[in-house]
Amino acid sequence: MKTQEREDNDFVYDFTSHRILWMFALVHKSPLFRLANYGYLGILFGLHGYFLILAVVTISTIQIKELAVAASLFVWIALVNVGLLVSRYSSNGCLEDALGQFQSGVFSYPTREGEDPRGAVTRRVLQVRRVVSYFNKFCYFSGSLNTYFIPFLAYLKMNPSTVDLSQFPLNPYLPLPLVTPFRTDNLPGYLAALFFESLFMAILWITYMGHQEIFVSVSLQLCGQLELLSESLESLESRARSLLHLPPELPSDEELYSRPDFQRAMYICFRENVLHHRAIIRLYNQVLPYMESATFFIVFGFSFLMAVETFIYLQNPQENVPMLFFLASDLVGLLVMMSAGQMLGDKSLELANVLYSTPWTSCDSKFKSMLLIELIRSQQPLVVKARFFSVEVNLETFADIVSAGYKMVNVLR
């Protein structure tokens, strides 16, 4: 029983299994859990509202250019984060159905004895686990370093005789350049501000990581299904032989393809591939609204985020070293998502070549007609675009975002 559970876990990646991402857990039917889930969401939005007010007050009261730009950064990123939370909760149904389809295998093939047709899917699930694990560890390290250790060590090394925090418009030893409703030039006030700002930063990191985990896992598992379909098409003739219980040593010649029963077997096996392809497209269309919404907020929100982080660092490189870690984390996370989108588009386009490599020249007209329809369908790649914009999730867009961020830095300077 445990062996079967382990095999099932290798076959599907459950993106709701991490309890640290409670805000992304599906709302179960239990009324108590649902009430706790919505209460948790209310606390998140309340904390976002609190820091939005602080950022607006900071912008309206501080006239220093660098600090005003820094405060506007958190207005923007908080709004982006709220948008990500809303898009996630509005997609509970489609993601829950998609996870159920992944767990059921999307489409099942009759297999031969000793053959495991799920190898491609399993490889993708293991790849998702590695990508998510490495990225989350990097985010935990970078976020903890920037939010806790660097500001607190700088505060402990501060010489009170030479630095009077009461003269600063903002406390430079806090992770967020925002005014606070209480004094932070004493240790209790500083620790209280550090606690609330750390909590807010943790929510930002968890939100971003949660969306990255869902996006990457869905994209790569769709890639696994496409690879499974390609492997099945490549073994089309052997599947037809197995259906008729023909010996594998029987040569593939005109005599074999002249048999009506073999032509029928080829048609039946290819129809299974067609149904599998349609199931993949339905699953893709089901999760596409969520992926487009998440892409919209992440691409446009974090483009501005990285530009402002670069701008803040360039103002004072020695004092703003943490911004480099924030920038590196954003770049790595965005690159992972763009690579997953690129891979999904490439795998869907490769399907046309696999279809054309089937022995269609030796098959009957029914097979050729169905193949022609599949070739036309395979010409439309499975791409993800940002909602309201025709910006695709691929490596070319990643390069454009980096270029746009560089241009924004020059404008802000």
The string of pLDDT tens digits covering residues 304-348 is 777 777 777 777 676 666 677 777 777 887 888 889 899 999 999
Answer positive or negative: Cα dihedral of 231, 234, 240, 241.
Answer: negative
pLDDT score recorded for residue 254: 73
Across residues 144-157, what is the average pLDDT? 69
Phi, psi of 385 (to 5 degrees): -120, 155
Amino acid at residue number 157? K
CA 382 – CA 341 distance, rounded (Å):
9
What is the pLDDT, as a whole number, of residue 5? 42
Is pLDDT of 24 > 80?
A: no
Instruction: Check if the beta carbon of residue 105 is closer than 8 Å to that of residue 11.
Output: yes
Alpha-carbon span 384 to 7, nearest angstrom: 30
Q: Which domain holds residue 345?
A: 2-412
Query: Between these two residues, 89 and 347, which has the higher pLDDT value?
Result: 347
Is residue 230 classed as helix, strand or coil in its secondary structure? helix
Which residue shows structure tokens 């393809």?
Answer: 257
Q: What is the mean pLDDT of residues 104-127?
A: 66
pLDDT band at 93 (very low <50, low <70, confident <90, very high): confident
Q: Does the global pTM surpass 0.95?
A: no
Tens digit of each residue's pLDDT (9 = 90 or more) over 276-294 = 999 999 999 988 888 888 8
Whole-number mean pLDDT of the chain?
76
- CA–CA gap between residue 215 and residue 209 (Å, rounded): 10
Number of structural domains in the chain: 1
In this structure, how many other beta carbons lie within 10 angstroms of the beta carbon of residue 109?
Answer: 18
Report the pLDDT value the prediction gives residue 367, as an integer from 0 to 100. 93
Give the pair of three-digit tokens for residue 333: 């996370």
DSSP secondary structure, 258-306, as one string: T-HHHHHHHHHHHHHHHHHHHHHHHHHHHHHHHHHHHHHHHHHHHHHHH
| 371 pLDDT tier (thresholds 50, 70, 90) | very high
Please compute, for residue 342, the number of CA atoms within 13 A of its CA located in the half-sphere on the CB side.
12
Phi, then psi, of 39 in degrees rounded to 5: -65, -40
Contact 25, 15 (CB under 8 A): no
Estimate to the nearest angstrom the gap between the alpha carbon of 43 and the chain centroid. 24
Q: Is the pLDDT of residue 99 over 50?
A: yes
